Amino acid sequence: MRFFKVKKFFRKNKTDNLKKDNQNDLKKNPEIDSRLNSTHMTELTEILKENTSILQKNQVHPTSLLLLKGPEDLVGVSWNLEESLISVGRSFRLNNITIPNPSLSKAHFQILKEKDNFYLVDMKSTNKTYLNDEEIEPYKKYPLKDNDYIRASSVIFKFLGEGNIEGISSKQILNKTLTDSLTGIGNRELLKRKGKDYFNLKVLSLIVFDVDKFKSINDGFGHTAGDYVLRMVAKNLLDVTRNDDLVIRYGGDEFCILSPEPLKVAYKVAERIRYKVSNMNLKFQNQSLQVELSIGVTEKNKSDKSWQDVYHRADQLSYEEKNLKKAKT
């Protein structure tokens, strides 16, 4: 994930210089594309194995920020505080951690890392920032300790120091919630959480496809064969897509990909997916399985109000391609 950084922000002592540096650096980073969560989708396929390994090897969980109260779909989410400066607020452009709550300021507070110490800084927010119920002064650094509570208006966070087992537990629960148990890629819940972020990008393309005659595979070979096909389709998707693509099993035999790339790139990706899947050498119980896809590709336009609008248009194109195939047989 490419975090927004404010260079040398806290290297000056005077409050006026602090505010000036922050404003100048914010102007240098206007592209919302830098706010895209670039968590590689292959990590989702290994997530349970990865978390088990953490526990088994006694690796230390990094310092993180856990949301306790706020938007329902974000409660329980934790963010690793690995950058030297993390900004929190309601603006996608200005923050590493965006909480869509109108009571928050655009840039509400920041967490500064200096060596092994973390500090909380209020950015002169409208509704103030509180550390363990004590109001803090704007632009002043306050040291953070394990299990400290941070309240920004009606939104409440918990600061989890390095090695806090609660951070590991919350990550395990969240990743299980956002991962399709059969294929290991993202599920519809992940799409629901990340769809808004992708829709706010300057450029968004969307690919939707499903497996042709999937019901006949289940009927002819059994659901075990159908599950095998879906797992192999997902594996090939991860081989073809890019780090910043959001790869989702939408449900049943339907998949979708949200990509911060122009339409012409999405078309090329779609054709690579079609070629790779159709050339899979699949065998189930010594019988070959041929898999074909019906694909719809589109991009965000000015009339779209949400990522769902883009999705439905791509889904309709996929449906039309499937009908054309049926008409030719």
pLDDT at 31 over 50: no
Domains in the chain, ordered, with CATH? 15-176 (2.60.200.20), 182-328 (3.30.70.270)
> How far apart, in whole angstroms, are the C-alpha atoms of residue 176 and residue 248?
14
Contact 326, 219 (CB under 8 A): no
pLDDT of residue 327: 84
Kindly list the distances between the CA atom of residue 165 and the CA atoms of 55, 59, 78, 161, 162, in Å, as whole numbers in the listed order.
Answer: 9, 11, 12, 9, 9
Which comes out higher in pLDDT, residue 235 or 177? Answer: 235
Q: What are the tens digits of pLDDT across the range 53-84?
A: 444 444 556 788 988 888 877 788 888 888 89
Q: Is the pTM above the cut of 0.85?
A: no
Segment holding 211, helix H or strand E: strand 205-211
pLDDT at 144 over 70: yes
Q: What are the tens digits of pLDDT across the range 187-201?
A: 888 898 889 889 999
pLDDT of residue 93: 77
Q: What are the tens digits of pLDDT across the range 228-241?
A: 999 999 999 988 99
pLDDT of residue 128: 95
Q: Are strands 155-160 and 148-152 parallel, antiparallel or unpaired?
A: antiparallel
Tell me the sheet residues that pair with 254.
210, 251
Task: Please name the residues in contact with 25: beta carbons below 8 A apart, sequence gap of 6 or more.
Answer: 5, 6, 7, 9
pLDDT band at 41 (very low <50, low <70, confident <90, very high): very low
The listed range with the strongest mean pLDDT (13-22, 200-209, 320-329) is 200-209
Q: What's the chain's average pLDDT?
A: 80
Residue 274 burial (10 A CB sphere; 0-12, 13-18, 19+): middle
pLDDT at 17 over 50: no
Q: How far apart are the first and last CA of the chain?
A: 46
